Amino acid sequence: MSKYKERTPQFFQFKEEGDEIEGVLLGVSDTVVQENDTKRYTVQTVDGLNAFLGGTQIDALLEGVEVGTQIKLQYTGTTKTASGRTLKQFRLWTQED
């Protein structure tokens, strides 16, 4: 019997306004989704290991946030661009030392 336990993150999606994830940022990796390059973020929450995909605003908000930082990321709704494209909007909080 192995002394190791496999840790597979649960995939988290921001679906409803107000959805949020809070925990320690464990890592950022590059991945491909439907032939598009994107970032995958892994966070340790009180409920376990979770992962979510980046996007324009998530990537901009989390740029420069160091692995090991306590974060809270909240989906606040959508907005329309000048070209009519709908974008999800987010707010980010980081824990101060």
Where do the structural domains in the chain lie, given as residue ranges? 10-94
Please tell me the least confidently modeled range out of 4-13, 14-23, 35-44, 61-70. Answer: 4-13
CA distance 16 to 7: 27
Please report, to the nearest 10 degrees, the dihedral formed by the alpha carbons of residues 54, 92, 60, 23 taken in order. -50
CA distance 89 to 12: 16
Tens of pLDDT, residues 68-80: 999 999 999 999 9
Class of domain 10-94 as given by CATH: mainly beta
Task: Name the pTM for this structure.
Answer: 0.87
Tens of pLDDT, residues 24-39: 999 999 988 888 899 9
